[in-house]
Structures are given as structure tokens and as C-alpha cells.
Amino acid sequence: MDGIQNLFISIVQTPALLVGLLAVLGLLLQKKNGTAVVQGGIKTFAGFLILTGGAGILSNSLDPFAKMFQFALNVQGVVPSNEAVVAIALVQYGSVTALIMFVGMIVNILLSRFTNFKYIFLTGQAMLYVSCLTAVILVSAGIGTGIRTILLGGIFEGTLLTITPALCQPYMRAITGGDTVAMGHTGNIGYAVSGWFGEHFGNKAHSTEDINVPKSFSFLRDSTVSITIVMAVVYLILALLTGQAFVESQLSNGSNYLVFAVVQAGTFAAGFAVVLQGVRMILAEIIPAFQGIAMRLVPNSKPALDVPIIFPYAPNAVLLGFLISFIVGTLSMLAMVAMHTVVIIPGVVGHFFCGAAAAIYGNAKGGRRGAVIGTVINSLLISWLPLFILPVLGNLSLASSTFADTDYLIPGILLGNLGDLGQTALTAGIIAFLALVIIMSRLTGKTSAE
């Protein structure tokens, strides 16, 4: 009996095995053949091991970055990167994260089935990352890692991933010219805000797509290339500010400090690619299982898909948004240095994807001016809000990275502050959030009927 109990506990405490078994369960529920079930389970298991391996690569690249930054400017530097912080956090919170994600999927399906917010969130890595953030905050609030955390976390995640696509849908209709697809990304709150500012302060008559972008700059639309280039520039500048003596004596083991900087930039890009590959392998089997079931259970539902689905609609806005967002992030960083706060170093990934999408949303109803205004507002959110989420992340706040997108930052800050008020307040807040969404759905339905 003790052996069986130990086996069960060991599986639950081993995220790679647990997520692999969840994939097997989903495939069995779809009545897949034995080959597909075995293949899906093993690929998911291996994917999680790849992801945790990527955690080490990212940590190794961010650690000297933080040390150089702190030495050069005498401040603490934190790089917002969802992939980096989640990969680090999953080592400790992996099992509870997987179970919260499982419950969150079910809650999203149920809310989509029984409310007027019929959006099935299908961006797998976003589900995983929101689950991880929720797990970190709930555990840090003292609730533990048991069934209460899993249920509360799943309710919170499922509710959040149901309502945020609804906030974006008015602008998605303007972007795509239809109403068949929704936005399923963790920058949705920021995109809706960008769209609102663009609509009210922009000028729709002059679109970003009236601008001719030189083909010589089109390579910046490849996020891997932009990450490598920008991180290399930042690392080199930081190495020069830090000085050859410190880098070569303390960090590079005698290697040339400029070469070391370039290698660390490449290591960051490589770690990012490894983590993404691991996430894809994990979710390639889980998401289709729930997708097929969900679409049969929820008539008239819309798939909420990842942010690149809108890039073809406004390619000029993609590049414009990235550049403006990163500039605003850099200026914000310099302001933080002057204010002697914790310094949020612009995260290339967040500023590329979120900046590009914010510009597209701002442009949809506000043209070029709306794209610029919307991007600036969104960039200010993702540049400054990380300062306020760090205190609610428990031990994870000591890492050299943090969450980057508005749908982690704003809900995470609110959830964390509720946790500071006690477990009762936190529980009540999550239930109230669910009730509010249900009430909003009913009011929306009545308004539509009228």
C-alpha cells in the first residue's frame, strides 16, 4: 500500500509524467488508436523535459545579464520574459500548474457553453503560462498545493481566458472584417485598451498600411532574428558599460568580454527556442483533444487563437508597433534608473508581439495616429506594471525575469493583493470574478436581444 501511495505521489510531483498522462487521458477520451495515444503521451513527456532543460539555458543567459546591469548602473535589472520566468517557475510549481490548467480548460468550455461569451481559448502556451502565474500567486498566498488551489486556480484561469477574448472582439471584427475568429493571447487587456484609445483619439482615414516599409527592414518581422539582434546590441552596450575587467574576471572566465556578450545574447535566443519547442510538444497532444470535445459541446463558439493570426492584416503596423514599443520601454527603463527603482529591462519578446498587436488594434479604428497612441499606452503598461507584480510572486520575485503581458500583470497584481488580505479575501475575489462574468454575459445577452 505504501508503495502504491509513494508511486502516486511521485507521479503527481513529477510534472513531465503528470502532463504526459493528461495528454494520454485526452487522447483516450477522443477514442484515438493505441499508436496515437502512446505517441502523444511520450511526445508530451519528452516536451516537458525539453522545456525544463530550456529553463537552465535561459537562466544561464539572464544571470550574467543581471550581474552586469547591476554592476554598471548599481541597480537590479529584471527582464520580462514569459518563457523564461515560466520555465524557471515550473521546476517548483509544475504539478499544480498542470492540474490548474486542466481545470481551467474545463471551466472555459463550461462558461462558453452556458454564457454568451462563446470563446474557446486554444493558445496552449498561454494557458500553461496563466496556470503557472496563478499557481505561484496562490501558493505564495499560503493556500498550499492541494485541491483548493487547483479548483480556485482553474476557476480563475478559465474565467479570465473566457472574458478577455470578448473584450477584444469588437476590434477583431474591424481587423479581420468578420466575426469567425477571436484573439487568444495574454496581451488581450492591453490590446482592448489600445483599440479603445485608437478609436477615440486616432484618425481612421489614414491607415498604417498606406506606408511603404523598405524591404531591407522586413527581417525584423522574424521574432527570432529581432530577439537575437536586439539582445546582442543590449548585451554589447552593457558589456562596454560594465567594463572589460569585471566581465572577464567575474563572468567570462577570461574570454573576451565582447565575445562573451554576443554569446550570451545568442544563448538567450537559443534558450527561448528550446522552451518554445518544449511547449509545442507538450501542447500539441493536449490541446487537440480538448479542442475536438469543446467544439462539439459549444455550438456557435469562436476559436481564440494566438496573436500572429492578425499580423497579415496590417504588416506595416507590426514593424511600427515593435519599434515604438521598444523605444517606450527603453525610455521607461532610463526613467526607472533615474528614480532608483527596480529596473525593468525591455523584454524583446513582449515588445515585439504585444507592440505589434497593439499597433494593429489601434490602427483598426484609429489609423496611424491610433496605432502610435495605442502602442505607447500598451508599452507603458508592460513597462511599468512588472514593478507591481514582483512583490506578489513570492520566491520567484528573486529571479532575473518576470511576466511580460498585460493579462498576466493586471490580473496577477489584483490576485496577489487579494492574497495579501488573506485566504478568505482571495477565495471570495475569485468567486466574485466568476459571478461578475456570468452577470455581464446575461446583460450582454439582453442588450443584444433588445
Strands (E), 326-431: 343-344, 401-402
Does residue 342 register a pLDDT over 80?
Answer: yes
Q: Which of 86, 65, 72, 401 is nearest to 266 (CA)?
A: 65
How many Cβ atoms from other residues are within 10 Å of residue 104's Cβ? Answer: 27
Q: How far apart are the first and last CA of the chain?
A: 62
Q: Is residue 313 part of a domain?
A: yes
The pLDDT confidence band at residue 155, using thresholds 50, 70 and 90, is very high
Q: Is the dihedral of CA 175, 181, 186, 192 positive or negative?
A: positive
User: For residue 398, what are the CA distances in angstroms to 78, 342, 441?
Assistant: 9, 12, 39
Q: Is residue 65 part of a domain?
A: no
Check residue 448 and give its pLDDT: 40
Query: 345 or 226, which is more confident?
Result: 345
Does residue 415 register a pLDDT over 50?
Answer: yes
Distance of alpha carbon 229 from alpha carbon 226, whole angstroms: 5
Grid look-up 484515438 returns 32
User: For residue 247, what are the CA distances in angstroms to 93, 262, 337?
Assistant: 33, 13, 21
Q: Is residue 335 part of a domain?
A: yes
For 299, which DSSP code? T
Specify whether the CB–CB gap between 185 and 307 falls below 8 A.
Answer: yes
Query: 222 or 25, which is more confident?
Result: 25
User: For 170-223, how does the pLDDT look when each residue is reduced to its tens digit (9 = 90+)?
Assistant: 999 999 898 888 999 999 999 999 999 999 999 988 898 886 656 666 665 565
Check residue 215 and give its pLDDT: 65
Q: Is residue 449 part of a domain?
A: no
The pLDDT confidence band at residue 447, using thresholds 50, 70 and 90, is very low
Check residue 46 and give its pLDDT: 86
CB burial of 231-261 (b: ≥16 within 10 Å; e: otherwise) equals bbebbbebbeebeeebbbeebbeeeebeebb
Does residue 450 register a pLDDT over 80?
Answer: no
Cell triple for residue 381? 503598461
Secondary element (H or E) of residue 303 = strand 302-305
Query: 130 or 94, which is more confident?
Result: 130
Check residue 449 and give its pLDDT: 38
Query: 165 or 51, which is more confident?
Result: 165
Does residue 431 register a pLDDT over 90?
Answer: yes
**Structural domain count, the chain:** 1
Q: Is residue 175 part of a domain?
A: yes
Distance of alpha carbon 317 from alpha carbon 99, whole angstroms: 38
User: For 31-69, how does the pLDDT look when each residue is reduced to its tens digit (9 = 90+)?
Assistant: 788 888 888 888 888 887 887 787 678 767 777 876 786
The stretch 280-295 carries a mean pLDDT of: 64
How many Å separate Cα 154 from the centre of its chain? 17
User: For residue 80, what are the CA distances in angstroms to 94, 223, 232, 351?
Assistant: 20, 16, 17, 10
Specify whether the CB–CB gap between 148 and 326 falls below 8 A.
Answer: no
Rounded to 5°, the CA angle 150-152-156 comes to: 115
Distance of alpha carbon 25 from alpha carbon 15, whole angstroms: 15
Q: Of 20-24, 183-187, 223-227, 299-303, which range is least confident?
A: 223-227
Domain range for residue 419? 11-60+73-444
User: For 343-392, how does the pLDDT look when each residue is reduced to its tens digit (9 = 90+)?
Assistant: 898 877 788 889 989 999 999 999 999 999 999 999 999 999 999 998 88
Check residue 83 and give its pLDDT: 76
Check residue 414 and give its pLDDT: 94
The pLDDT confidence band at residue 412, using thresholds 50, 70 and 90, is very high
Average pLDDT of the chain, as a whole number = 83
Q: Of 79-83, 227-231, 330-334, which range is least confident?
A: 227-231
Grid look-up 503527481 returns 12
Q: Which of 88, 89, 91, 120 is nearest to 105 (CA)?
A: 120
Check residue 169 and give its pLDDT: 95
Using CB atoms within 10 Å of the CB of residue 450, give its burial: 0 to 12 exposed, 13 to 18 middle, 19+ buried: exposed
Q: Which of 67, 76, 66, 58 is nearest to 249 (CA)?
A: 67
Does residue 294 register a pLDDT over 80?
Answer: no
Which amino acid would we find at residue 320?
L
How many Cβ atoms from other residues are within 10 Å of residue 423's Cβ? Answer: 16
Distance of alpha carbon 112 from alpha carbon 297, whole angstroms: 9
Q: Percentage of the chain with pLDDT > 70?
A: 84
User: For residue 385, what are the CA distances in angstroms to 378, 381, 388, 413?
Assistant: 11, 6, 5, 8
Q: Is residue 80 part of a domain?
A: yes
Strands (E), 104-157: 119-121
The stretch 284-288 carries a mean pLDDT of: 67
Query: 72 or 285, which is more confident?
Result: 72
Query: 436 or 277, which is more confident?
Result: 436
Q: Of 144-158, 325-339, 389-403, 424-438, which range is least confident?
A: 389-403
